[in-house]
Structure 1
Amino acid sequence: MGDAAARLPTELADIARLASDAGPHAVTQTVAEVVVDGTPLPVYAVVLGSADPSHPGVGFFGGVHGLERIGTEVVIACLRALVQRLKWDATLQRLLTTLRIVFMPLVNPGGLWRGTRANPQGVDLMRNSPVECAQAAPPLLGGQRLSAALPWYRGPAGAPMQIEAQAVCRVVEEELLCRPFALTVDCHSGFGLRDRLWFPHAHTPVPVRHLPEVLALTELLDDNLAHHRYIVEPQSRQYLAHGDLWDHLYLKAERGGRVLLPLTLEMGSWLWIKKNPRQMFSRQGLFNPLIEHRQHRVLRRHMGLLEFLLRAACSYRAWCPAQAQREALRERALQRWYAAGRPS
């Protein structure tokens, strides 16, 4: 057991240490436990800020796919920055009196430990919700139930969601869906040469009800995060998929009359391969920057985005559209994202 513990992901120790350093500012929960080869691996949630349900919330998630280690590292870097600033930053301390912040940096510790996209049961957690694609999803990529030996396996039909996916849903429902407004960012890698911010839907090309809010947030990002490189778009512009976890949670919030804007940060790992072609011969290199200075650059690049989203969520009343503005914003959003159809 001692040898196994020594091989546990260092990220788990980092999360526990940072939560301890935050002291009374943070509440840390083990929201699930995954046993791999006889070794228990915790799934942590670290919560900071206001417990008042009338205040908005933000959630930062990573490590849904075990191979995409950089997503976990981005979320841990954000948590580390907040914990350090809490020691001296009075503006951050005031912000936490009116904002709830949730961190789940490593949703799939078993997959990270084994170096697999799926969890130890072979299930892709981002294809595991009960949401069904409204149109033909691409074979395999859109989710399949043929075999856990193939990628993008959804799990058996009719089975409960995997415990890691259930833990994400439970944390979002208990900490964020009780609030009038919430943003989430789920950090991934491996799609193209550009960093992208995807919003729902993934299961249908039909625009989300809160498209005006998405456009207002996007324009706020364009105006305030100078020279950012993010392509903001609905995931359906790239491909459709069954079982998307964030579609499932968005639809649940919508049914409850709440506003949840879930974003997926897809870091363009092909750029790292372009700069260091040898990475293509490594499974880790296909999804993560392997050179230390490049990893540090990636972590620095996304801190501005996460900080911006904290401020945007806290001040959502200042930029969320009033009812009279919604139709005009919707028309502009439809022109921006849907008029040209799916990209070639």
Structure 2
Amino acid sequence: MGALNSIPHRTPSRRPRGSRARPTLSRTRSKSQPSGAGPLASRSSAIAEAPRTPKRDQYLIRDPEAVVVSGGGEFVLVNPTGESMVISDADGARAKALLTRLATRQAVTSIEEGDRKLVGLLVAKGIVLRGGRDLASRIARPGGKRVCQNLVLGVSGAVAATHVVNYVWPLRYQFCARLNVVLTESARRFVVPEAFTRLGARVFGDLFALYPDVQVPHIELAQQADMVLILPASGHTLHKLSSGACSDMLSLIVMATRAPVVVAPSMNAALWTSPAVQRNVTQLRADGLYVIEPSIGYAVSAGDDAQPELGSPGVSTINVANALAAVLAAHKSRSLGKLSKRKN
């Protein structure tokens, strides 16, 4: 990203030979420079001057993946790519106030003149995002419009199941109105049902257990679902679904539902690239399921010698709501296309 504002180009005026140029620009900078400005003062040449009239319809918001650490009078800022910077003294206090304010979208024109240089630096360093009216829509916001009424979240017995609880909050408040969680027997080795119920989700698992207000769970959940998400999907789960097995509640729901089914495989690279797993994944795609390709992660089996490799679930808590919304929109478009072809 570029700096927040740029210095307008000025053509230097001619002056009589031997006369001295007026250092107007340097005086302006020295007046706007607060005393005790800390490390920011040495970077003043890297921060562009703000134009007198900032562009309208331009907005700022803190990148949700940026990390801010405070301590000892200093602020350590780390952008999503891992680049860090340190701000201290007076500029640190100003940065704290700005980043608190920029937790929600703010118009560029609302930024005070004295803070625009600092905002420009934060934008240039990737701590703050700048864009148009759609800027905040890049970040799913709690309480916004939920495009899915009923989501079934299936959790299978992969190690990544230990992190699934962190997805409940963004799913419940950014994507779906109701969340039903289905734990496989293996998943219960990694996570307990109470972790989900305390966050407002209903939990199912045992095919033969009795559940309040639900007569036949796997049928009712399958019929009510607007989407089924399996996160993480272990190699064993991929095999069951690709072969049409109906051996537990999760596989029964997948077989019985007419809603889009999204699977997010999670396993080490050796398993993911094996011919058998790839054959199962190919069959799932052919059956109309959506497969979220794995992302980069570290294999637990490698211990201290672990190197980045494919195997981690391909969505994070930051982008899961937007990713599922895109899949749901694509599925509806595909369904309408099929219906149109049938009519023709």
TM-score if structure 2 supplies the norm length? 0.32
TM-score if structure 1 supplies the norm length? 0.32
Greater RCO, CA 8 A, separation 6+: 1
